């Protein structure tokens, strides 16, 4: 797994939820940028997931 040296350590965060949250946020930001007319749907879905 890629680990950039500039990232802060997250020793107190369970690994699986942290990975899921990172993937969710990356998908949200990508879809948000690509499909501006559906931003409200993406925001609702992300907020319900987290």
**pLDDT for the residue 8:** 65
Q: Model's pTM, two decimal places?
A: 0.66
**pLDDT for the residue 49:** 81
Q: How far apart are CA 41 and CA 11, in angstroms?
A: 33
Note whether 29 and 35 are within 8 A (CB). no
Note whether 4 and 22 are within 8 A (CB). no
The whole-number average pLDDT for the span 1-29 is 75
């Amino acid at each position: 797994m890629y680990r950039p040296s500039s990232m802060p350590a997250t020793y107190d965060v369970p690994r699986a939820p942290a990975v899921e949250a990172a993937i969710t946020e990356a998908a949200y930001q990508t879809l948000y940028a690509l499909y501006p007319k559906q931003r409200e749907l993406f925001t609702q879905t992300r907020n319900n997931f987290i």
